[in-house]
Amino acid sequence: MIKQYLLAPGPTPVPNEVDRAMATTMIHHRTPQFSKIFSEARERLKHLFATQNDVLILASSGTGAMEAAVSNLFSPGEKVLVVNGGKFGERWVKISQAYGLEAIQLKVEWGKAVRVDVVEKHLKVYPEIRGVLIQASETSTTVLHPVREIAELTRNGPLLLVDGITAVGVLPVLMEEWGIDVLVTGSQKALMLPPGLGFIALNDRAWQRTETAKLPRFYFDLRLERKNQQKNSTAFTPAVSLIFGLHAALEMLETEGLERVYARHDRLARATRAAATALGLKLLAPENPSPAATGIVLPDGIDGENLLDVLRDQMGVTFAEGQDDLKGRIIRIAHVGYMGAFDVLVAVGALEMALKKFNHPVKLGQGVAAAQEILMEAIL
Amino acid sequence: MIKQYLLAPGPTPVPNEVDRAMATTMIHHRTPQFSKIFSEARERLKHLFATQNDVLILASSGTGAMEAAVSNLFSPGEKVLVVNGGKFGERWVKISQAYGLEAIQLKVEWGKAVRVDVVEKHLKVYPEIRGVLIQASETSTTVLHPVREIAELTRNGPLLLVDGITAVGVLPVLMEEWGIDVLVTGSQKALMLPPGLGFIALNDRAWQRTETAKLPRFYFDLRLERKNQQKNSTAFTPAVSLIFGLHAALEMLETEGLERVYARHDRLARATRAAATALGLKLLAPENPSPAATGIVLPDGIDGENLLDVLRDQMGVTFAEGQDDLKGRIIRIAHVGYMGAFDVLVAVGALEMALKKFNHPVKLGQGVAAAQEILMEAIL
């Protein structure tokens, strides 16, 4: 019997309240009963996205919503600037290329945030750029990009498309105030749901662009979707039980209060970083760390894949591994979603024990103590 | 949002596997479908009780099964010896008295185990004693009583009635081998179920006594119940969903293996005791501690009720308090049931933080480290 602790940045743990809501007896989606739930969820999503515009709910993963952003806003051959500092920056590149856009890649060293002045320079060199595609939080490298500052640069220029998949609900991403044109997220992160829903909001400027954009789209035709969702229905069959869960999850977030939700994520992330530092471990993103997850560089000689296997199979603790060049060299501990102080203690306690098992000289309890110091903020 | 950790000795956490089994669509109890589940659960219970005799399943709490033990085995005015070293010893006294038995109380200081020689002396002084009533694990004081040794004394004398409510499934209680005449447990402890089922097994000697016992009983008439349960039915309506859950829980215990289940409880309890000691705290039962729960004496000047309120309401961690004279002076941390290594880390980490909040000089991480040292046994 090994109790399971899911501490990877998506899927994240699903609270009982959400599980129960999803277990509601199936209803038909073309009914006033469904429309009421859908309408209430839509209103709460606007608050989460900090926008007055529609937040469309799609039956897709977050990648579907990213694709919808591209296919609804551009025309064949157009140039976009893609900030590529990790697996999800790379995904923007692949989507753009699949649709025949010319993706100008602004490559960023994994673990670093993009520099605002470098973005600015690119926009000057390529005035024909029609869109800037970026992650608010690059999950693969646990980095926050300076979206707010970049939005200042694009306000009267190219559209700014932000992948907020591990940012929305984790930290403030103020769509309207900052001037983000398109903001995307998915269900299995801060929204505490299973995977299966994508979310996308466009501001007025972006909606105008959908009228002239010539890329092909059908399932993800956002104009059609908006028309239906404004009547609290959907263009195609919605993922009914996930919508029930969404309704419950948004209610939980509202009850906690978004400011407290953001403060919680920040506190858990700071506690984890303090623990890693106390254990003499290096952070993957020491300068611009995301509160969604903490990347920790493993000591030389420790095989990260073996370490993660022991943690998962012998201890029941699932962290995320590194990707591509970082495979086996880092671990990522998530804070996003239904996470509390004791998830950090479990994560750090387990990491200490696993490192010790791998003969790394670690003082048990040292990282835990550093985390506890910070976690105590919440009870003082 | 405060995640909840239920670390009190009953009700204990219910695993998802059991929750799902209990959520099975309700079926009628007079059907082959129910009988099959019931029959399989009955077989597995025999293994758990280490007996060839029937283990009867009652729709009641554990106290109902204790009452059944008394009302089925004695006649008005008979003398019983009750080992009373805590709230549950006291409960045997109250049940015996409610049924008009003469309860000779062998009072034991709270936190201590009864001495075998003292039991022996009582049995000599009162040769007319018809039964000895005892707890295997006295939950209120986190003490183990020497049931095996006492069974040696009663083998050819009075019946030995053992309340195994926080013992069966926690440590070996070998009914047949040790010579226990009646063994009782409840669902909400090691069986990882919600409250609502009581269990009772009688050996042949005890079954014979039911024929002459004259105390009144109806709902808990074990002869009638045995007659029905041997046909995989019940005398009265069974708690159907709990039986589904029982079936799943017994399957989990069987998959883990009872030896490993016992070793796990022992390890979690030793880790918790080591943590308390490392933090300079005194154990309530240093000499004969139960692996079901660990009683920790709070430092002078710390109000246990306030401490438990902060732990539960601000940190989401529910321990049990002390009862009667121990109220406010101790806490009890449970290990019984669906518990793993990280429940200990959560418990100890939370206790450290709460003590620090109450200005007790505690070095954060010190108890956690002591626990980790022991918990590592499971991954080496």
In angstroms, the separation between the Cα of residue B274 and the nearest Cα of chain A is 14
Pairing of strands B131-135, B159-163: parallel
Say if CB A130 and CB A79 are below 8 A apart.
Answer: yes
CA–CA separation, A308 and A2 (whole Å): 15
Say if CB B166 and CB B10 are below 8 A apart.
Answer: yes
From chain A, the residues in CB contact with B335 under 8 A are none
For chains A and B, CB pairs below 8 A equal 114
A16-255 maps to CATH 3.40.640.10 = yes
The pLDDT value given to residue B25:
87
CA distances from residue B216 to A203, B59, B76, B208 in whole angstroms, order as listed: 77, 19, 9, 17
Residue ranges with strand state E in chain A:
5-6, 55-58, 79-84, 102-107, 131-135, 137-138, 143-144, 159-163, 182-186, 198-202, 282-283, 293-297, 317-318, 320-321, 330-334
From chain A, the residues in CB contact with B350 under 8 A are 342
**Structure tokens given for A44:** 């709460």
Q: Which residues of B65-81 are buried (b: 16+ CB within 10 A; e: fewer)?
A: bbbbbbbbbbeeebbbb
**Given CA atoms A90, A91, A95, A98 in this order, what sign does their dihedral have?**
positive
Residue B1 to residue A314, Cβ atoms within 8 A: no
Q: Which of B341, B342, B368 minimises the CB distance to A365?
A: B368
Which residues between 105 and 164 in chain B have a beta carbon less than 8 angstroms from any beta carbon of chain A?
Answer: none
Average pLDDT over chain A reads: 97
In angstroms, the separation between the Cα of residue B336 and the nearest Cα of chain A is 13
**Given CA atoms B99, B103, B106, B108 in this order, what sign does their dihedral have?**
positive
pLDDT in tens, B348-361: 999 999 999 999 99
Q: Which residue of A has its CA nearest to B358?
A: A380
The angle at the Cα of B77, spanning B75 to B80, to the nearest 5 degrees, equals 85
Residue A352 sits at the chain B interface (C-beta within 8 Å) = yes
CA–CA separation, B59 and B65 (whole Å): 9
CA–CA separation, A269 and B368 (whole Å): 20
SS3 category, A65: helix
CA–CA separation, A227 and A327 (whole Å): 44
What is the identity of the amino acid at B153? L
Residue B365 to residue A372, Cβ atoms within 8 A: yes
**Structure tokens given for A142:** 């646990």
Q: Which residue of A has its CA nearest to B275?
A: A365
CA distances from residue B67 to B74, B82, B102, B208 in whole angstroms, order as listed: 11, 14, 15, 18
DSSP H or E run through B131: strand B131-135
Neighbour count for residue B18 (Cβ, 10 Å): 25
Find how far residue A245's CA is from the centre of its chain.
18
- The one-digit pLDDT tens for each residue of chain B (380 residues) are 899 999 999 999 999 999 999 998 899 999 999 999 999 999 999 999 999 999 999 999 999 999 999 999 999 999 999 999 999 999 999 999 999 999 999 999 999 999 999 999 999 999 999 999 999 999 999 999 999 999 999 999 999 999 999 999 999 999 999 999 999 999 999 999 999 999 999 999 999 999 999 999 999 999 999 999 999 999 999 999 999 999 999 999 999 999 999 999 999 999 999 999 999 999 999 999 999 999 999 999 999 999 999 999 999 999 999 999 999 999 999 999 999 999 999 999 999 999 999 999 999 999 999 999 999 999 98
Q: Which of A354, A362, A308, A365 is nearest to A331 (CA)?
A: A308
Upstream peptide bond of B361 is cis (omega within 30 degrees of 0): no
Residue A26 sits at the chain B interface (C-beta within 8 Å) = no
Residue A368 sits at the chain B interface (C-beta within 8 Å) = yes
Burial class (CB in 10 A: 0-12, 13-18, 19+), B342: buried
pTM assigned to the model: 0.94
Ranges of H-type helices in A230-257: 240-256
CA–CA separation, B150 and A163 (whole Å): 69
The pLDDT value given to residue A311:
98
Q: Which residue of B has its CA nearest to A366?
A: B365
Which residues between 271 and 310 in chain A have a beta carbon less than 8 angstroms from any beta carbon of chain B?
Answer: 310
* Cα first-last separation, chain A: 36
**Structure tokens given for A380:** 């003082």
CATH no. for B257-379: 3.90.1150.10
Residue A346 sits at the chain B interface (C-beta within 8 Å) = yes
**Structure tokens given for A89:** 């920056």
The pLDDT value given to residue B232:
97
- Positions of chain A with pLDDT lower than 70, given as ranges: none
The pLDDT value given to residue A171:
98
SS3 category, A257: coil
- Residue A380 C-beta-side C-alpha neighbours within 13 Å: 9
Neighbour count for residue A257 (Cβ, 10 Å): 11
DSSP H or E run through B8: none
CA–CA separation, B243 and B57 (whole Å): 9
The pLDDT value given to residue A353:
98
CA distances from residue B89 to B9, B101, B105 in whole angstroms, order as listed: 16, 15, 9
Pairing of strands B5-6, B317-318: parallel
* β partners of residue A199: A57, A185
Residue A317 to residue B342, Cβ atoms within 8 A: yes
Residue A372 sits at the chain B interface (C-beta within 8 Å) = yes
The pLDDT value given to residue B322:
96
Residue B369 to residue A363, Cβ atoms within 8 A: yes
Residue A338 sits at the chain B interface (C-beta within 8 Å) = yes
Domain coordinates in residue numbering, chain A: 16-255, 257-379
Q: Which residue of A has its CA nearest to B309?
A: A379
Residue ranges with strand state E in A170-252:
182-186, 198-202
Say if CB A261 and CB A249 are below 8 A apart.
Answer: no
